[in-house]
Amino acid sequence: MNPAVHMDGITKRFPGVVANDDVDLAVERGSVHALLGENGAGKTTLMNVLYGLYEPTEGTVFLDGEPQSFDSPRDAIDAGVGMIHQHFMLVDPMTVWENVVLGNEPKTWGGLRVDEDAAREAVADLSERYGFDVDPDARIEDVSVGVQQRVEILKALYRGADVLILDEPTAVLTPQEVEDLYGVFEELTDQGKTIIFISHKLSEALSAADEITVLRDGVNVGTVASGDVTREDLAQMMVGREVLMDPATTPQEPGERVLEVTDLRADDDRGVEAVSGISFELRAGEVFGVAGVDGNGQSQLVESITGMRDPTEGSITYLGEPMAGESRREHIDRGMAFIPEDRQERGLVMSYDLTENGILGSQHDPPFAENGRLDWRASRDHAESVIEQYDVRPPNADAEAEDLSGGNQQKFIVGREFERDPELVVAMHPTRGVDIGSTEFLHDRLLELRAEGKAVLLISSKLDEVQGLSDRLAVIHEGEFTGVVDPGTVTEEEIGLLMAGERLDDDSVEGAALHDAATDLAGDSGDEEVDA
Amino acid sequence: MRNPLADLTIPVLDDLIESDYVRSLIVGTVGVLGVLLVFGALFPETVVGDLSGIVFSTSTAASTSRLAAPIVLAGLGGIFAEKSGVINIGLEGLLIISAFVSVYVASVVGIGNTVLGVPAIWVGFLGGIAASTALAGVFGVVCIEFKADQIIAGLAVWLIALGLAPFMSTVFFGGVNTPNLGARIGWRYSATMVVVATVASWWALNRTAFGKHLRAAGENPKALDTVGISVSKVRHAGVLLSGVLSGIGGSALALSIGQFIGSGETMVQGKGFIAIVAYLFGNYNPVGTLGAGVLFAGLDATQIRLQQLGYAVPDTLVQTIPYVVVIVVLALVGRTRLPEAAGEHYETED
Amino acid sequence: MSRSDGGSADGSGSDRVPSIARRVVTPFVDRSVAERLLISVAAILLSIAVGFAIVLVSGRVAQCSTAAWTMPVTGLGFCYDPFEVYLVLFNGALGYPFAIGEPGLFDPSWTPFNLSFGLTLSETTLLIFTGLSVAVAFRAGLFNIGTQGQLVVGALATALTVLAAAPFLPEGPVAGAVLIVVGTLAGAVGGGLWGAIPGALKAYADANEVITTIMLNFVAANVAYVLVLEVFRAEGSSVVATRYVPEYAQFLPWLFPQSSDFALLALLVGVGFIAGLYYLVEHTSFGYDLRTSGMQAAAAEYGGVNAKLTTVRAMTLSGAIGGVGGSLWVLMSEGRWMASVPDLGFDGITVSILAGNNPLGVLPAAFLFGLLKGGALEIGFRTDVPTELVGVLRGLIILFVAMPEFFRMFGRYAGIGSSGPGGSGGSESSAANADDDAAVADGGETDA
């Protein structure tokens, strides 16, 4: 019997990047298959090929042994493939049944009326058949994220999907909702549906999937049955790379306390708590790293510290002054530099040239402004000095930010922020999208700052980076630090598990293997253990 | 803010109107009128008596429906456009162009003649609708295909019509005001059209598949696109409907007196903007829009009658009430929630 | 955005591109500015072409005894001559400097100080202020449709202040100067306060400024009308208007005929405002905050800009400039406040959009509209074509300027896209960020 889904030798190239390199994937009917890998490993690209959003550069997709050629998601839907995106495609003010039948409404009265009873019944039937427990008449904006996800699944089922792709389905769910989702998976596969879900969480893949395919750097590292594999094996497969950089940090006695964060809580834009009680302190001459999978509260943590978001609870003390709730301007004026994660939204004004971008944040301060008047000559000199010192190309202060490559944009931001002569640098993904040479250069500059006695808060999803540069390393998961470890002794596997939400004092069966390491780590991190 | 009127349950209304806000608007209006009627009957010799007599007289009903027709119909049109994600602030222009063209076409056909058995005045009526729909179509193409800023393009529609209608009037009739046709459409027709259009709009928006698609196009176009419905087509339909409805309103306005007046702000005199106020006030609900439109037009009609009876009413101030009300509503209550994707261009991914 | 004071003198620039050449060239190769300019010119030309067609068509259907123009080849006669219309429009607006059909190109007896040109410049002056008003708000990312109302309020404040203050000062030029300054200040305050209302509503109640400013236009017009009608109406006046302000408190029409309602000094003040606004927007910290919040609000917030305060300030400034426009309307054009204030505020929107919301662009854009308005009168005098044509042209220009994508598509279609400004902008940046895109493609969105 042919597998429900067979992707054969899929290669997908983007200009300058190979996102998928000769990937094979076979998924049996009625099974749950996890696609595991780190961010950027090519998981979503592969699934977008299956869903008809991308056309593969090479390779073929087979469904039930039939070769397929999808021009658009519409073709994929017709062929029985449904995708549940990470960001739901639902119309918030409409009801569950309205969303489910959208575009395929049953009609009466010669098409003049949506047959609400039929639609409601169809949705209720589907819901009941798979044990979804969804009220067809509830409004989307009134139901929980977990229910919204089920509505998305219902949408796909209503359109006759046999293969369901779920992109990071647990990213937005509470632990209880995750359990419910696994139950839904079971119901679906019992009735012959095939499920592929994308994840970067080991525990999730192990507990929900029958088979697991690990992608790394666009390559299929291997497909394993979840019963035959351990967490360590998976972590090894996922990370699988050597530490590129030796920690160049020379031991250094930390100075006075620069930043102290206590019991910090903050909400995201939707009002859902994203930072759930984080405490740490940061001293002069120290790099404090925060590792973790994107979307675990890093953004909200950083925004709270840099004055771009008001925390809901807790205190932030910077150079002895309480800062929580102070304006962004106040934070800049007190010498806090901030390299934001979103350089094209925040870090730079894309239509400004580099001279203008060079004073973003300093537009009221000498030497760039005096009595409210801008000194463009000084600004230009400043921009040119940043360009020269940080090797920004093209070396032209008149170039607009949008004409620079991502790496050069980043170098310019880093240069601008470092040249502010800050007491504290908050750097979020400082080398994302930056080439190797520039990355090393930026790392050296970070360490120079440390040597000058500045405090650095470094947030990155690149393990080698945070591990190599930090004096102490915290791992964040769902808005909490799962541990604070010594980056010199901790292994990448251990960090990987911390990132997946395992605490070092975890007593579960899977955690037992780590127990020894955990004890060691506890000793190393000593009194820095935070908020366990 | 807790609204006591929102809690009243009225059997038919509850089914028709989901929004507490719209319901309290209607209950409040009906309540005030009821009190007025009672007091008017009890004290016929007082201001209240006069007022009651005016409000419940046929002539006030006539002028109210005449004044309300363009407001309510354009407002209904505005709902269709905005629900689909295209903010149409050119309603005023659509009213102007249809008002002129309806009179022009009727005069070209000649009162007393018919085309295919349709009397001239009704041919003119259809001509007005066609003109307004065509202009709305241009607006739609400019906004949806050429990604123009909707606000600026809407202003342009207004300004073009504001120039074009008197221009054409001068070309054809030698002056910005057309001569009177000597025939007109009675107020009962206007009233009927308003009611029918309101009910039909309500049905289209709430009971048909098209209505669902329209909402999705304005709230989350991507959700619509991913289920295989063209967002552009739905938006074009919404904009064209705003043209059709505004065309009915503009034709009804001009043909109810049998003449187009093109001096100054033309005879439309900001009714297209009041229409925006009406549907915002009615919270995008056709029934609420009808209520708001009739309320504003009724205020105006009552005020005119009061003046005729010798009461010194500051007419201009009365006309200002809707505008002030909408500002206050926006500032305090913040009820009007624009569709999520209104004003944004949408590009399909595949 | 070019700056003349940047980078030429220091040595560091000289080893790269020759800096003087760069300074000269930069403003013209700056993509956004050049593209705006191209689109504005194309929009004007297209409007003229469409206007041409409208004149032709209406000339065909209108009735006249003799054809004003006969189309070559076809022999069709038209009541209106479209060439004549545009000749009269532009030539007439300048007071007929060009001697059409005469042996010489120029009419030797022409002087710039004629009535028609004065009327044109009078409109230009007023449009400078309303255009600047809209432009300033636009630069802060706010769509101020309320300049009309701000102008009405400013004009009334000016008229009432000057009328109230005049009795306390001895008649004469000194008192006139004082009254003009005081009156203009009153206009700025009145317009500024009226503009601050939607600004505050936007900042603190999240009320859409497009809607509130439209509503406030009607409120301003109606309230001012009632105030003048009931309280300040001049005795014996047949229209709703205040008394005239004293002659000496009005701008004097140096060189130009009295009836042109134009004062050179007022135009100079307008040019001064342009320069001042340009300086404010491009060379001050406040201007930087303003532009940045309009351009990219998230970046402005990152750069420590207080978004709410900037919104209120920008709307207040915008309203104040509109109010000064109202002052000049009273002190230069009418000599009093009167009902039926012309649509200067709405024309300001067109002027600003045509100018790419750049203060420097407001001058030519206002002049173009001044020409249209001045020329409209001449069309009325000299041709049978209804002057409302100019209103149609106004609407067409704003419609076409609003759809840059049309001209880009046309440019690409005509094959000038690759070398033309902006044509390749999208692909350039996407290529530069290809590495990011790929990362995003897999990592999902990075939530802020």
Q: Is the pLDDT of residue B18 over 60?
A: no
In eight-state DSSP terms, residue C106 is B
Query: Which H or E run contains A114?
Result: strand A113-114
Shortest CA gap A211–chain B (Å)? 29
CA pair distance A130, A186, nearest whole angstrom: 9
Pair type for strands A424-428 and A455-460: parallel
Only one residue has tokens 């959700």, namely B223
Enumerate the residues of chain C whose CB falls inside 8 A of the CB of residue A303.
448
Q: Name which residue leads in pLDDT, A502 or C21.
A: A502
**Tally of domains within chain B:** 2
Determine, yes or no, domain membership for B173: yes
Determine, yes or no, domain membership for B348: no
So what's the pLDDT on residue C296? Answer: 87
Q: Are residues B136 and B244 in the same domain?
A: yes
Determine, yes or no, domain membership for B338: no
Enumerate the residues of chain B whose CB falls inside 8 A of the CB of residue C208.
330, 338
Establish if C301 touches chain A: CB-CB under 8 angstroms. Answer: yes
Set out the domains of chain C in order of their start, with CATH numbers: 32-111+383-410 (no CATH), 124-367 (1.10.3470)
What is the three-class DSSP state of A131?
coil
Shortest CA gap B54–chain C (Å)? 24
So what's the pLDDT on residue B51? Answer: 67
> Do B146 and C394 lie within an 8 Å CB cutoff?
no
The CB density around residue A127, as the number of other CB atoms within 10 Å, is: 22
So what's the pLDDT on residue C431? Answer: 37
> Do B340 and A92 lie within an 8 Å CB cutoff?
yes
CB contact at 8 A, C130 and C147: yes
Q: Looking at chain B, which residue has its C-alpha nearest residue C56?
A: B171
* Residues in Cβ contact with A434 at an 8 Å cutoff, skipping those fewer than 6 apart: A406, A407, A410, A411, A442
Determine, yes or no, domain membership for B136: yes
- Which residues are registered as beta bridge partners of A113? A108
So what's the pLDDT on residue A529? Answer: 36
pLDDT in tens, C29-71: 455 677 778 888 888 889 889 988 888 888 777 767 677 777 7
pTM: 0.79
Determine, yes or no, domain membership for B61: no
So what's the pLDDT on residue B274? Answer: 87
CA pair distance A336, C379, nearest whole angstrom: 64
So what's the pLDDT on residue A172? Answer: 66
Set out the domains of chain A in order of their start, with CATH numbers: 1-80+162-241 (3.40.50.300), 89-159 (no CATH), 257-335+423-528 (3.40.50.300), 348-421 (no CATH)
Which of B152, B170, B327 lies nearest to residue C216, judging by beta carbons? B327
Q: Is the pLDDT of residue C20 over 60?
A: no
So what's the pLDDT on residue B27? Answer: 67
Give A180's pLDDT tier (boundaries 50, 70, 90).
confident
CA pair distance C287, C279, nearest whole angstrom: 8
Asked, as a colleague might, if the bond just before A394 is cis with ω within 30 of 0, I would say yes
Average pLDDT value for residue range C237-262: 80
pLDDT in tens, A106-125: 888 888 888 989 999 999 99
pLDDT in tens, B191-227: 999 999 999 999 999 999 999 999 999 999 988 988 8
Q: Is the pLDDT of residue A252 over 50?
A: yes
pLDDT in tens, A412-429: 999 999 888 899 999 998
Q: Are residues B258 and B290 in the same domain?
A: yes
CA pair distance A460, A481, nearest whole angstrom: 14
So what's the pLDDT on residue B2? Answer: 42
Give C406's pLDDT tier (boundaries 50, 70, 90).
confident
pLDDT in tens, B87-146: 999 999 999 999 999 999 999 988 888 888 888 999 999 999 999 999 999 999 999 998
CB contact at 8 A, A348 and C260: no
Q: Are residues B189 and B214 in the same domain?
A: yes
Return the minimum-mean-pLDDT range out of A98-102, C118-122, C178-182.
C118-122
Q: Looking at chain B, which residue has its C-alpha nearest residue A70?
A: B350
Q: Is the pLDDT of residue C22 over 60?
A: no
Q: Are residues B1 and B102 in the same domain?
A: no
pLDDT in tens, A37-94: 876 678 888 998 998 888 899 999 999 888 988 888 888 888 999 999 878 889 988 9
Q: Are residues B135 and B48 in the same domain?
A: no
* Cβ-based contacts under 8 A for chains B and C: 141
pLDDT in tens, B227-265: 888 899 999 999 999 999 999 999 999 999 899 998 878
pLDDT in tens, C288-310: 999 998 888 889 999 999 988 99
CA pair distance B111, B335, nearest whole angstrom: 47
What is the three-class DSSP state of A374?
strand
Shortest CA gap B342–chain C (Å)? 12
Q: Are residues B139 and B179 in the same domain?
A: yes
Q: Are residues B33 and B138 in the same domain?
A: no
Q: CA neighbours within 13 Å on the CB side: how many for A235?
A: 18
In eight-state DSSP terms, residue C16 is S
Q: Are residues B46 and B81 in the same domain?
A: no
Establish if B333 touches chain C: CB-CB under 8 angstroms. Answer: no
Domain range for B309 is 69-333
So what's the pLDDT on residue B301? Answer: 81
Establish if C426 touches chain A: CB-CB under 8 angstroms. Answer: no
Shortest CA gap B219–chain A (Å)? 6
- Compute the mean pLDDT over every residue in chain B, rounded to the nearest whole number: 84
Q: Are residues B106 and B231 in the same domain?
A: yes
CA pair distance B234, A24, nearest whole angstrom: 40
So what's the pLDDT on residue C110? Answer: 72
- Compute the mean pLDDT over every residue in chain A, rounded to the nearest whole number: 83
Which of A340, A374, A402 lies nearest to residue C285, judging by beta carbons? A374
Q: Which residues 61-100 of chain B have a CB within 8 Å of chain C?
A: 89
> Do B153 and C214 lie within an 8 Å CB cutoff?
no
Q: Name which residue leads in pLDDT, B165 or B339.
A: B165
Only one residue has tokens 């049109």, namely B77
Give C416's pLDDT tier (boundaries 50, 70, 90).
low
Determine, yes or no, domain membership for B240: yes
Q: Are residues B125 and B84 in the same domain?
A: yes
> Do C303 and A355 lie within an 8 Å CB cutoff?
no
The chains found to touch B (3+ Cβ pairs under 8 angstroms) are A, C
Q: Are residues B145 and B241 in the same domain?
A: yes
Average pLDDT value for residue range C18-27: 43
Q: Looking at chain B, which residue has its C-alpha nearest residue A108?
A: B208
Determine, yes or no, domain membership for B64: no
Average pLDDT value for residue range A224-231: 85
Q: Are residues B180 and B298 in the same domain?
A: yes
Which residue in A48, A70, A91, A152 has the most chain B C-beta atoms within 10 A of its own C-beta, making it the best mutation to test that interface?
A: A91
Q: Is the pLDDT of residue A397 over 70?
A: yes
Q: CA neighbours within 13 Å on the CB side: how many for B53?
A: 12
Enumerate the residues of chain A whose CB falls inside 8 A of the CB of residue B222.
89
Determine, yes or no, domain membership for B162: yes
CB contact at 8 A, C145 and C317: no
Query: What's the burial of B262, exposed, middle or buried (CB within 10 Å: 0-12/13-18/19+)?
Result: buried
Q: CA neighbours within 13 Å on the CB side: how many for C8?
A: 12
CB contact at 8 A, B243 and B94: yes
* Residues in Cβ contact with C306 at an 8 Å cutoff, skipping those fewer than 6 apart: A327, A329
Shortest CA gap B76–chain A (Å)? 19
Q: Name which residue leads in pLDDT, C395 or A145.
A: C395
CA pair distance A503, B3, nearest whole angstrom: 50
Q: Looking at chain A, which residue has its C-alpha nearest residue C439?
A: A40
Q: Which residues 293-332 of chain B have a CB within 8 Å of chain C?
A: 314, 316-317, 319-320, 323-324, 326-327, 330-332
pLDDT in tens, B36-92: 677 776 776 666 666 666 666 777 778 888 889 999 999 999 999 999 999 999 999
**Spatial CA neighbour of A358 closest among C288, C306, C383:** C288
- Compute the mean pLDDT over every residue in chain C, rounded to the nearest whole number: 79
Return the minimum-mean-pLDDT range out of A331-345, B36-50, B296-310.
B36-50
> Do B216 and A111 lie within an 8 Å CB cutoff?
no
Enumerate the residues of chain A whose CB falls inside 8 A of the CB of residue C435.
16-17, 405-407, 433
Q: Looking at chain A, which residue has its C-alpha nearest residue B222?
A: A89
> Do A402 and C296 lie within an 8 Å CB cutoff?
no
Which of C349, C395, C403 lies nearest to residue B142, judging by beta carbons? C403
Query: Which H or E run contains C333?
Result: none
The CB density around residue C359, as the number of other CB atoms within 10 Å, is: 24
Return the minimum-mean-pLDDT range out of A499-508, B264-273, C268-277, C386-395.
A499-508
So what's the pLDDT on residue A425? Answer: 93
Q: Is the pLDDT of residue A530 over 60?
A: no
Q: Name which residue leads in pLDDT, B12 or A458.
A: A458
Q: Is the pLDDT of residue A382 over 90?
A: yes
pLDDT in tens, A120-162: 999 999 988 888 888 999 999 888 878 898 999 999 999 889 9
> Do A372 and C447 lie within an 8 Å CB cutoff?
no
So what's the pLDDT on residue A521? Answer: 38
So what's the pLDDT on residue B337? Answer: 67
Enumerate the residues of chain C whose CB falls inside 8 A of the CB of residue A349.
292, 295-296, 299-300
Enumerate the residues of chain B whose CB falls inside 8 A of the CB of residue C216.
323, 327
Q: What is the dihedral of CA B7, B9, B15, B17, to 10 degrees?
A: -40
Q: Is the pLDDT of residue C16 over 70?
A: no
* Cβ-based contacts under 8 A for chains A and B: 62
CATH of the domain at B236: 1.10.3470
